[in-house]
Amino acid sequence: MSTGKSGGKTGGKPAGARDMRVKVKKAGKLKHSSQLWLERQLNDPYVKRAREMGYRSRAAFKLEEMDDRYKFLKSGQRLVDLGCAPGGWCQIAAKRIGLEQGKGYIVGIDLLAVDPIPGVDLIQMDFMADEAPALLTERLGGRADGVMSDMAANTTGHKKTDHLKIIALAEAAVEFTHDVLAPGGFFLAKLFQGGESAELLAMLKRDFTTVRNVKPAASRADSSELYVLATGYRRKNTEDSGRDEAE
């Protein structure tokens, strides 16, 4: 790795000024795209801040910013974090619901193993497995107050295909949410900008009081990533409906 120096007044910098941006020299079989990604990571202020603060990913700041603005994380909540690896969102949520003080409960689920997070109940499994909703509800001790998802499907490089994959993943998360979310709860999930999200948003507007598209500052400016935050869950669970009719 190297840092370039400016020998004169270049790009508005005074003579003798140093360009502090870290650049990665191409070595071996490193692809150009990989080189650019590594440079971006090394120069990303959120990556640096996450490392300094002990957060497991820069994504922690996205959740932090969104909650600062909309205040959906509250003391004592029971939360589910879908696709929780490496654990940055769990770390932020744990602080905000008072987990260290014995308040609330968080279940994180991911296909990958996640290093332990104090107080967080981590499960390695597919959230789309038939047994997942019942298992998570049991671990929570009841229905969740919020379901969060920062999941993104593996990309193919084909923009339209990748967009459809993230929408399908978000739709699966919504279906899971119907099985575990308590009335008044919230749903937060990653999307990418595009017309195919219209149907998903319509579903959420039917079942939640308020639905917002949110682009936190910690999301990279050149990314089409955004988040959908739905609050005030109002869909009546079919199981509860059947119980009411029986009574």
Q: Any known ligand binding at 110? A: yes
CA geometry: angle 50, 146, 183, nearest 5 deg: 165
Q: Between β-strands 18-23 and 121-124, what pairing exists: parallel, antiparallel or unpaired?
A: unpaired
Q: Which two tokens stand for residue 36?
A: 């650019």
DSSP per residue, 173-200: HHHHHHHHEEEEEEEEEEEESSGGGHHH
Q: Any known ligand binding at 141? A: no
Q: Any known ligand binding at 142? A: no
Diameter of the chain measured on Cα atoms: 83
Q: Cα 29 vs. chain centroid, distance in angstroms?
A: 32
Q: Any known ligand binding at 184? A: no
Q: Which two tokens stand for residue 199?
A: 């149907």
Residue 48 designated active-site: no
Q: Cα 172 vs. chain centroid, distance in angstroms?
A: 15
Q: Which two tokens stand for residue 205?
A: 């507007």
What's the CA gap between 79 and 65, in Å, rounded?
A: 18
Q: Which two tokens stand for residue 150?
A: 């920062």
Q: Any known ligand binding at 12? A: no
What's the CA gap between 71 and 65, in Å, rounded?
A: 10
Residue 224 burial by Cβ neighbours in a 10 Å radius (0-12, 13-18, 19+): middle
Instruction: Find the catalytic residue in 13, 103, 160, 190.
Output: 190
Catalytic residue numbers read: 190
List binding-site positions for S-adenosyl-L-methionine. Answer: 87, 89, 110, 126, 150
List binding-site positions. Answer: 87, 89, 110, 126, 150
